[in-house]
Structure 1
Amino acid sequence: MDLIIISSGVGHLNPHLNLDFEKETIDVNVSGFVVMPNVAYKYFLSKNSGHIVGISSIGAVMANPTVPAYNASKTFVSNYLISIRQKLKMQKVTVLVTDIKCGFVDTNMAKGDKDKKFWVTSPKKTALQIYDSVKKKSVCF
């Protein structure tokens, strides 16, 4: 194996801060996500090569008051990937780490957001953009 693409995400429109929604989002998007980069790091470290790709969100850098836990969880994902990348660089290991910050994708998760932004893309277009970014060995997309 030379490449792993990690995607873990759930999000609820949560303008009233329903604690159960917040907890589920953190459980899936943080606790669920962190397992795979950790395993991939150790595996690729032993090979001295590989590529870890994590799917984050534009929400990591753009606040939205209706999905606070989602945005915070994607900030965690991006910072975790940056930290893994820095750790590998300090160890002089040739493992790539890419953080994909997707915008709004036309899925059920985005359908309920009344503040949907103009850059909504189809799942197919998003997948092709991710594929191109991985092929180019981008650090962040």
Structure 2
Amino acid sequence: MQETVETFRKDLFSGQHVIVSGATSGIGLDIARGFAALGAEVTATGSSADKIAGMGSESAIRFTRLDVRDRAAVKAFCADQERCDVLINGAGIARGGAEWDEDIFLDTMDVNLNAQFRLAIGLKDRLAERGGSIINIASMLSYMADPGVPAYTASKTGVLGLTRALAHKWGREGIRVNAVAPGYHKTDMTKPIWSVPFGEEAVSRRTALGRWGTTIDLVGPCLFLASPAAAYVTGMCLEVDGGFVTGNPLEA
């Protein structure tokens, strides 16, 4: 993490308020830490009270419980925010083959896609006041198909459309909206693949950089997209997959 944040000015986000959903573990947590390391006040949300209770002390990050499926809770959370400079829509789930059940499919879609819209709408006025930025977390499955996770695939594909629509809807109000698309990063969600030799090797062979990503690999791209260096970048998705999507599956 230190090498990544040292790439940027240490007070880059000083005085700014950054909200990161799905930030009590994995990618979201490291993104929250990245912004905090550059001076931001960070509000990190998660749905698990137990995880929040176990987070310990991180002075620049305030952890709060929020079920992004709960419309009333999201509305109340957004109304309580006096300022928002950056919104990272990081909450996401995958439920494997169970997603072929309609109820689970719809619930997964609600977390991964609808909630991004819900938070963006709720914080839109605060973002407009600050000339703020939204970064949605998409996926390599925004570009590929995986029949093992139909809802995850559909929701992450939808994130691209939502990102573009919001960018054009709110661009004249000074709000930039972009996305990042992680590939295979070592997280709890992907552990069933990277924890076995065949799975880890198969991904590494197809990836141009020859390795799995880490959660920290997502931090720099998010910091860039929220910074003045990306002032003329909106409606775009930055793929952070080590070249996996462009690899040749026949050679994997």
CA displacement at 1:109 relative to structure 2: 0.8
Deviation at 1:26, TM superposition (A): 1.4
| Aligned ranges 1:1-141 → 2 under 5 Å | 1-14=84-97, 17-45=100-128, 47=129, 49-89=131-171, 92-113=172-193, 114=199, 117-118=203-204, 119=207, 120-135=212-227, 136-137=229-230, 138-139=233-234, 140-141=237-238
User: Larger radius of gyration, structure 1 or 2?
Assistant: 2
What is the CA deviation profile of residues 23-65 of structure 1, one whole-angstrom value per residue up to 9, with x for unaligned ones? Answer: 33112112322211112323323x2611111111121111111
Per-residue deviation at 1:75? 1.5
The higher relative CO (CA closer than 8 Å, separation ≥ 6) is in: 1
Distance apart, 1:67 and its partner CA:
1.1
TM-score between the two structures when normalised by the length of structure 2: 0.48
Cα deviation for residue 8 of structure 1 reads: 1.6
**Cα root mean square deviation, aligned:** 2.4
Query: Is 1:49–1:93's contact at 8 Å kept on the other side of the alignment?
Result: yes
| Paired-residue identity, % | 22
Letter in 1 for 2:183: G
Q: In 2 relative to 1, CA 133–95 (structure 1 residues): closer, same or farther, beyond 3 Å?
A: closer
Output the CA distance in 2 between the equivalents of 1:93 and 1:16: 38
Count of residue pairs brought into register by the alignment: 138
**TM-score between both structures, scaled by the size of structure 1:** 0.81
